[in-house]
Amino acid sequence: MTRSTQPKNWFSYLLRSILLGLVVAALVIWLQPLLKNWQLAPQQSNQPMSFAKAVNRAAPAVVNIYSLSETRGSYYSRRPSTVLRLGSGVIMDNVGHILTAAHVVANVSSIEIALQDGRRTSAQVIGVDPITDLAVLRIELDNLPVIPQDNQLRSNVGDVVLAIGNPLNLGQTITQGIVSASGGRMGVINSHADLMQMDAVINEGASGGALVNSEGYLVGINNAQFRGPAGQGVEGIYFAVPYSLARSIMKTLIEEGEVVRGYLGINTGDTPAAQVYQQPGIFITGVDPNSPADRAGLKPEDYIVEIAGQQISSAADGLALISTTTPETELEIRYFRGNDELTTTVTIAKLRY
């Protein structure tokens, strides 16, 4: 009886050992990636933070712009003098279109572009939009570096951004900051676009350069530093035109040569009227003589609450609606004058710069 059971016990032991070995081997194979990551984690955590990859992707497409303009002679010297204006620009496509700030190239006699690979060439102005302070240039060179772009990308408050430009002609310089406001900063500087605010430094010569995220994708065109009531620069407050708006303006300038905007002819300002009427709107502080608003009977202290059947969610949105309306279009406006609710029809004109 004992002899007959020994083979069975030996075979059962062997089978259990094989199964246990297979289970252990399977666990080791399954845990190997986790163990590898666990071993590497301390090394990875000691690596310094770097934006070198983003800079390497974006910086070659940011160019230096040298514009020459002539000023009139004075009483003491009637000979005109030549003034060099510094700026930066961003190569947007492989056919040579460059986005920059309009104030960099406005009213100049010649424009020279310097690429980071050492090439230099002249540029042609394709179009200028004073409202957004954007301009499109064109150069004719082959093998151009193009800034990385993502049309679906949206910036958020708190995003890390890098400003790339040529401040004071020192050479290409990178400054770093975070986004303080992704929009809503309208009319705070020479641009009247809905700007984004950040604290990446923009000095003279860096205007028109690229604002990119931590992966090197373009998020804005650098514009200027905020200035206080006395005209002094305020540290830590800088602005850029958001990429989506800049791309739209560029497309329009390339296709049509100008950006046509609607004109109503009113000045606006802050007022407690929103609390009085319990709804958002546009408080009129002034009306341009012989403007569409003047001809429609609008007056200072009127409070517009509806345009073309659309409730006004904010003054900025209402003005944007006017701006994007085709000239000669008739719009019905509902507004308050004191306690009286009134309506009028305006014929939108073309905004003249």
pLDDT in tens, 310-334: 998 877 788 888 988 999 999 999 9
For residues 191 and 246, the answer to whether their CB atoms sit within 8 Å is no
Mean pLDDT of 228-253: 79
328: number of Cβ within 10 Å: 10
Residue type at 166? N
pLDDT band at 230 (very low <50, low <70, confident <90, very high): very low
d(CA 353, CA 351): 7
- Angle, CA of 203, 88 and 54, to the nearest 5°: 90
The encoded tokens of residue 193 equal 């676009």
Q: Which of 67, 129, 133, 155 is catalytic?
A: 133
Q: What is the pTM of this model?
A: 0.72
Most confident of 14-18, 94-98, 167-171, 268-272: 94-98
Give, rounded to a whole angstrom, the gap between the first and last alpha carbons of the chain.
Answer: 112
| pLDDT one-digit tens code per residue, 252-304 | 999 988 888 899 999 887 665 555 777 888 889 899 999 999 999 999 999 99
Give percent of the chain with pLDDT exceeding 90: 50
Question: pLDDT at residue 58 above 70?
Answer: yes
Active site residue 93: no
Q: What is the pLDDT of residue 339?
A: 87
Please report the pLDDT score of residue 320 as a whole number: 81
DSSP assignment letter at 169? G
Choose the weakest-confidence range: 9-13, 39-43, 101-105, 123-127: 39-43
pLDDT bucket at 82, cuts 50 / 70 / 90: confident
Per-residue pLDDT, 107: 85
Q: Is the pLDDT of residue 309 over 60?
A: yes
Instruction: Assess whether pLDDT exceeds 90 at residue 236.
Output: no
Phi, psi of 331 (to 5 degrees): -125, 135
What is d(CA 57, CA 62) in angstroms, rounded to the nearest whole number? Answer: 10
What phi and psi, each to the nearest 5 degrees, are found at residue 61?
-90, 0
* Percent of the chain scoring above 70 in pLDDT: 77
What residue has token string 């409070």?
A: 303
Separation between Cα atoms, residue 279 and residue 126, nearest integer Å: 43
- Is residue 103 annotated as a catalytic residue, yes or no? yes
Where residue 136 falls (left for φ over 0; alpha for ψ -120 to 50; beta otherwise) is: beta
Closest CA relative to residue 200, chosen from 100, 46, 61, 55: 55
Long-range contacts for 67-72 (Cβ within 8 Å, ≥24 apart)? 67/104, 67/105, 67/108, 67/110, 67/111, 67/112, 68/108, 68/109, 68/110, 68/111, 68/112, 69/107, 69/108, 69/109, 70/109
- Rounded to 10 degrees, what is the CA torsion of 37, 39, 42, 43? -90
Average pLDDT value over all residues in the chain: 83
pLDDT digit string, tens, across residues 161-209: 999 999 988 889 999 999 988 765 554 445 456 788 888 888 888 999 9
Q: Which of 88, 155, 207, 302 is catalytic?
A: 207
Which pairing describes strands 97-101 and 81-91: parallel, antiparallel, or unpaired?
antiparallel
Residue 225: per-residue pLDDT: 62
Residue 213 contacts residue 169 (beta carbons within 8 Å): no
Please identify which of the residues 103, 182, 191, 302 carries the catalytic annotation. 103
Active site residue 97: no
Alpha-carbon separation of residue 94 from 99, 143, 250, 263, 311 (angstroms) = 13, 7, 15, 35, 43
Residue 258: what residue type?
A: E
Asked if pLDDT for residue 26 goes beyond 80, the answer is: no
